[in-house]
Amino acid sequence: MSIFIERIKIKNLLSFDEEGIDFELKPLNVLIGANASGKSNFVAALRVLTFASSEFGRSIQDEFGGLNELLWRGKDTTKASISTTMLVPDTGEEVLFVIDFGIDKNWTRILYELFSIRKKVLKSKNKNLKDVILLIEFPIESDLLKIFANSRFDNPKNEIPIIIDGAMSRLPINVFADRSQSIMQTPMHPFALRIRDLIYEVKVKSFYPVFGPLFLQTPNEAGVKQDKLTREGSNLASYLAVLNEKMIVDNYILSRVSEVYPNVIGIGTTVKGGRVYVTLKEKGNRQVILQPRISDGILRLIAILSILYQDNPPPLLCLEEPENGLHPEVIPVLAKAIKEASERTQLIITTHSAELLSYLDPEDIVTCERGESGGTKLERLERKRLKHWLKDYSLGDLWLKGVLGGTRY
């Protein structure tokens, strides 16, 4: 099982109020809830977090129209906060990243940051300074860093203390002159660069809203290799051509598609007139079917499977309503692919499909509801609480009956 973000806290952002949430994530996290309950806002908050890997303030302006559009609409809300605990894939180092941000002269400014990387420590072992790979904070609030600054700095106004590889060091304060940029942008340590690159990979490769049919049906310019599917799925043909070279289409995507569409015996790509097309071969048909004439539902399924079965996935993937446009009989195959993908990368899925829930485990499912103040609250299902119900009903049935929560009433 794969976990990148272990825990996240969100306050005063989108539909998360001043109380906010403090939520533990699992390898698979399927969010259910009524419209406007906050499912997509949770995904959007994760996207804001990834902006720390590039131009934080500019990214908020370009993608959301400015921080005013993101702040919780509560009383006197002037700043938002995201705090995450992350685990470095494969090696397991613990990362704590906290960012508070607000508006200054109509522009997004970072008000406080904490970036900490620690070696993987056994639970039985006490953590100490030697375990710290990096600790940087601005403005300084940590007692340890304050003591170091007051006792050992000749000119604390020009430098700030940091910890690198278990030892105290210092950093010029002018590094923080541009508070629209995150401290993650400062190349302080190879591990810091790795974390930044992982988060940037999530930013550019991980967020998939509902696909529009026109994008999926459009062929691509030939000769341009694509190592990822775009957010809207507009380069599906070019991306499938790359996956075809790696045998991913034949070994995974075709086998899943043929489970629900047994007449489909081949999926590939072809070049005609300088453009790349997705092709479909069916039993009894001498010619392949080109992309504009392939069923929208089949193209959607191919696109989703191409994300879930990619050979080198980012550490986190977010898919919104992947069941959209699929026949109900396709849902078991979709659920199987989602479960298999969660073995290799962490998944955040939003859904309105009761059928999909019926093929998942209770621990995979997170309900989204608005609390008394109007803020979004998240709660993970527990098998033991549902043990009696599950003897006679599926999870999808229980959701529709209102037993699970995540409904309007």
Instruction: Give the CA radius of gyration of the chain.
Output: 24
Handedness of CA 140, 144, 145, 148 (dihedral sign): positive
Res 2: pLDDT? 79
How confident is the model at residue 160, as a pLDDT? 82
Domains of the chain and CATH, by start: 1-206+316-409 (3.40.50.300), 211-313 (no CATH)
CA separation for the pair 164, 15 (Å, rounded):
37
Burial label, 338 (beta-carbon count in 10 A; 0-12, 13-18, 19+): buried
**Model pLDDT, residue 157:** 67
How many angstroms separate the CA atoms of 129 and 115, rounded? 15
**What is the per-residue pLDDT for 153?**
53
Confidence (pLDDT) at 72: 94
Looking at residue 159, its pLDDT comes to 81
Please tell me the pTM assigned to this model: 0.93
Residue ranges of the chain whose pLDDT lies below 50: 124
Each residue's pLDDT tens digit, 192-234? 999 999 999 999 999 999 988 889 999 999 988 888 999 999 9
What pLDDT, on a 0 to 100 scale, did the predictor assign at position 124? 47
Which pLDDT does position 220 carry in this prediction? 94
Q: Give tens-digit pLDDT for 152-194.
A: 555 556 788 888 998 888 888 888 888 899 998 887 888 899 9
- Residue with the two structure tokens 């794969």: 2
- The rounded distance, in Å, linking the Cα atoms of 83 and 373 is 22
pLDDT at 158: 79
Residue 176 zone, left/alpha/beta (φ > 0; ψ -120 to 50; rest)? alpha
Nearest to 2 by CA among 97, 89, 64: 89
The per-residue pLDDT for 110 is 95
Write down the pLDDT at residue 320.
97
